[in-house]
Every structure is written in C-alpha cells, then in structure tokens.
Amino acid sequence: MLAVKNLYAGYNDTDVIFDINLEVQEGESFCVLGPNGCGKSTLLKSIARIIDYRGIVTMNGEDISALPRKALAKKTALLSQSANPAGAQILFPYTVYETVSMGRYAYSQGFLKDLSAEDKIIVDEIIKKLDIWEIKDRMIDELSGGTLQRVFLARTLAQTPDLILLDEPANHLDLKHQIELLEFLKVWVKENGKILIGVFHDLNLARLFGDSAVILNNGSIAAAGRINEVLKSEILNAVYGINIYAFIQKSFDNWK
C-alpha cells in the first residue's frame, strides 16, 4: 500500500501542492485529475522523490525518504510527461532493446551490460507485451512519437517496481493504441500486485483506466473516491467550470 500524508511540495521555495493525503492499494489503478496547473505532475514528482517535499510517503509502511536511490528505483518508477516531448532531439540514441534494458539498471552491476538471465527474460517479456519486439534492434531516434512512448513505458515497466507513476501515459498515441495500452496496464497491475498512479487530462480515458481517483484544484484535493463517483461529483463541475459528466454522457450517447 502507498500512503501519502500531509504532503507539501513545489519549486523555488513556493508550494504548489498542499496537505495531500491519500492511500492506494495493491492492484489498484489510480487517477489524478484536474485542470492545467493544479499540481498533478508535481504530486507524481514528489512521490517519486524527484523533487523535495514535506510530509510522509510510505510504501507498505516503509518511509521512502530513507531509501538509497537504487533501492528506491526497485520500488518506484516515474514516466514523466516530458520523457518524450513531440519533436524532441534525442542526444544519446540507443536501440529499442538497449533503452528498455536501462530499466534493469538498479539490478545490474553495470550500464547496459551484465544483465542476468532473469533480467533478459523480464526485458524480452515486456518488449513483446508492448508489441515492439519486431523493432527491438532499431535506433530510438528513428521512431515516431507514439512508438517511442511505448518504448519509454516498456523501460519503466522493466524496473518491475511496486509503484509506477505515469504522467499522461497515453500521450502521443492514436486512439487504438491508447485503449490497448490502458487495458494492458490495468490488467498488468492487478495480475502482478502493483500500484499504478496516472495523471490524465482526458476524463474518458480516466474512466476506462481508473479504479479510484482524486481531483486536484489549486494544489489541494477537491474530491476523492471511486472513479465513477468522482466523475459524477458536483465538485468536478466546479473545478472545471462546466458540467463534465453531462458532457461525457452526451459524447457516449451520440455514438449509440
């Protein structure tokens, strides 16, 4: 179980998120929702210990602030939204296989070498499940944004952490691959007893993916609960300034 208690974090001595309290259970897919600038990415970076925070973050009762970096990498992995900005230049191109293998760094003795037989089994399995096996020998600077996103996600999953943090995980993907990816992740989390927290702007994708959710507004939790309850919440309408549930329902009704 992940427990976050009284969490504050921000940048340049200015807090962006305030007094965040939440719990996520093993096997659960958890969504972080809210408008731009409300602190969603900051929350993920805090939990991953990418930025400093005040408060307590524990995994199965263990305070992560005391963990060495390699030990933390075995428990927590973050795929940030900026990992694959559209059109970004890749300064150090590797093959797809090498890139995914980087996810095993915390378990190996060296960089891109000395992978154990177990490491190779894990890397091979993840590459096949994300449907990038046929391009495993291609250089990543030759790939489209959507394919590169799957490669970076595969690298994150190859860490086999207890907690996976994804900032807009379906970013750069077409609709078919968005749905396939989110369905895969939800099943993968439940079957492997992991915890997955994802930031979403698209509420339809959040409803497809999430078991539970929080809505952030101005850095604080405005609502929390099961995903369908949160998406029906009047607080959601107040945060976004429109009747979100009616809009989502109408969009589905129009397809009937």
- How many domains are contained in the chain? 2
Of the two residues 86 and 145, the one the predictor is more confident about is 145
Q: Is residue 59 part of a domain?
A: no
Query: Does the predicted TM-score (pTM) go above 0.75?
Result: yes
Q: Is residue 129 part of a domain?
A: yes
Q: Which of 133, 160, 187 is the last residue of a domain?
A: 160
Q: Is residue 19 part of a domain?
A: no
**Owning domain of residue 133:** 86-160
Amino acid in position 227: I
Residues 200, 207 contacting (CB under 8 angstroms): no
**Are 209 and 242 found together in one domain?**
yes
pLDDT mean over 247-252: 69
CA dist., res. 153 & res. 140, Å (int): 13
Angle subtended at Cα 238 by Cα 186 and Cα 209, rounded to the nearest 5 degrees: 5
The tokens 């974090």 sit on which residue? 9
98 pLDDT tier (thresholds 50, 70, 90): very high
